[in-house]
Amino acid sequence: MKGVDGIEVLRGRLAGLPTVPGVYRMLGDKGQVLYVGKARNLKARVTQYTQTERMGSRIRKMVFETRDLVVVEARSEAEALLLEANLIKSLKPKYNIIFRDDASYVRVLITDEEVPMIRSHRGATKVKGEYFGPYPSAQAVYSTLDLMERAFRLRSCADSVFKNRTRPCLKYDIKRCSGPCVGLVSKEDYARQVRDAKRFLHGERKAVQADLEAQMARLAGEFRYEEAAAVRDRMKAIAAVSGISTALTHALGDADVLALVSEHGRAAVQAFYYRNGQHVGNQTYFPNFQGEEDAAEALRVFVALHYGTRVPPPQVYCNVAPAESEVLAEALGVSAGRKVRLEVPTRGEKRDIVRQAEQNARAALHRKTAESEGWAKQMAEFGRVLGLESGVELVECYDISNISGKFPVASCVVAGPEGMLKNRYRKYAVKTKDTPDDYAMLREVLERRVVRGIKEQSFPTVMMVDGGKGQLNVLVQVMRDAGVLGTAECPLLVGIAKGEERDKGLETLFVADGKSVRRLPIDYGSALIFMLQRVRDEAHRFAITFHRQKRGKAQITSRLDGVPGIGARKKKALLLHFGSVEGVRSAGVRELAQVEGIGAELAQVIFDYFQKG
């Protein structure tokens, strides 16, 4: 069906399409998903794709490439919207508006146990307790936890540490904890602190302040001045952070502010996050926006995707009304388990906040555009230097990191005309171990990449290795052995060697054509050489980071691996019980023996092992 126009394919499917809500997927000639959309009426929506006079160039191209159509019926339009968002996130179709928004946000958790603790939490909410957030960044959570420690003095230590303490820790001395581990606060008073902390996180600041003030007055009246002073200090901590709020934020409780702007075929969304009336962070998102979608539709897609993996707050303020906002609000309410309102403020402080977000979005878009144009210009120049008729679309750069063959890893970073494409980065755990042969390690990684490229029929314009002619020859040999060298699919093979005395800007680039290796005529200190240097440095950074993670993990676990009689299961039990290797090291024989599967004899072996070390 390769020669069939996609419009004819769609017309042939119209008769069998239902007139109910649902989601449709347009598939290409290899079964790849080109587009995912939702519809109130599936038949009516697909019919629109057969009317060419109403289509923009991008939609016409998408329809022409369509070779099959898959539809899923839904019980309601809201259900279809949620399904559409999930499919876009998982399938990342070529022609959809894609928002790179995969962050797993952090929450504040107050656990549900006899002596509750407060801590940060990321991921599924499986631990019993009350969750607050999500917050837009780890820093926002840490700032909140810092306040909660100063104001409410809840414990933040792990259960393994809490249960084994015989005297209070440093946090008690600096007035960051009330010392429930050793009974320095009564159960009733600690329960009151937990209750006040939850009320505070729910936004009841004034009520908490009033209760603390009354409590301080009562304690002072009973001549319990030391306890009254402690309550006074908590009040000061709350007052200090409450004073941080600007005049613009006091109208908000828990809310998100979203502002979308678009210029010259590009778009940006600025998100401001407010929790308990505090501005706790912001983030800018850049959709794959083709300029043909209107702002309302683009914002609808963003909202659906943005809240696909996180619970929306009760209120979301926007600078433009998302398309089908009523259905969207209904869908968000289903996922949140409560009512969610989408609103475009028209007056007052909320409108001012939205305008501020819009200004930030526009400024971020201008910065992104300027940066992207710089990358696009240099990619075009790189293509000219390489003798290509068009610019370079994708560059993959590889680097190896190890210490004398130990903990070997490799990285692959990817760059295109729009900049570094972090969602395409890959890291490799190298299997070639215990030898300082970087060439052998590089060969292994490149062979794995080439096998995948042949299988998926996907290669970049340029494959670049960090190194000189030696590393480049490895890349050439791998391509030759795989039968790719000299074919139309073979990318250009480039090596980037460090300059004299490793000076940046003095790098030398070599390109290989299978028969010879020649030096590329790129001026030292030029914009192009610095762009390529940045790509190389990013590959080096990514490899070093992965190497340090592996090395650090190995160094930590090896301290337990050396204990006689400790296998994987008992090691896991010890770490779960004590929280860390350091906790195991500092434990006594009796404490070690209480761990399931250890016993008195093995506990003595573990204790003796760490005493000797």
- pLDDT tens string 118-140: 998 877 777 899 988 767 667 77
Residue-range domains of the chain with CATH: 6-91 (3.40.1440.10), 111-242 (no CATH), 255-363 (3.30.420.10), 395-548 (3.30.420.340), 562-612 (1.10.150.20)
Q: Are 214 and 221 in contact (CB under 8 A)?
A: no
Token pair 């070529």 in the structure block, residue: 94
DSSP classification of residue 155: B
What are the residue ranges in the chain where pLDDT is below 70? 1-4, 98-105, 134, 136-137, 237-251, 278-281, 289-293, 404-405, 433-436, 499-506, 552-559, 613
Residues near 212 by beta carbon (within 8 Å), at least 6 away in sequence: 196, 231, 234, 235, 238
**Cα–Cα distances in angstroms (integers) from residue 373 to residues 179, 367, 396, 419, in the given order:** 57, 10, 20, 9
Label residue 245 exposed, middle or buried (CB < 10 Å: 0-12, 13-18, 19+): middle
Neighbouring-strand partners of residue 497: 508
What pLDDT score does 505 carry? 53
- Computed over every residue of the chain, the mean pLDDT equals 83
What pLDDT score does 1 carry? 43
What pLDDT score does 434 carry? 58
What pLDDT score does 398 carry? 95
Q: What is the pLDDT of residues 266-287, one digit of tens each?
A: 889 988 888 777 666 678 888 7
Q: Is the dihedral of CA 477, 479, 482, 488 positive or negative?
A: negative
Token pair 């009354």 in the structure block, residue: 214
pTM for the whole structure: 0.52
Q: At what angle do helices 138-152 and 225-242 cross, to 10 degrees?
A: 150
What pLDDT score does 246 carry? 39
Q: Are 273 and 280 in contact (CB under 8 A)?
A: yes
Q: Are 277 and 249 in contact (CB under 8 A)?
A: yes
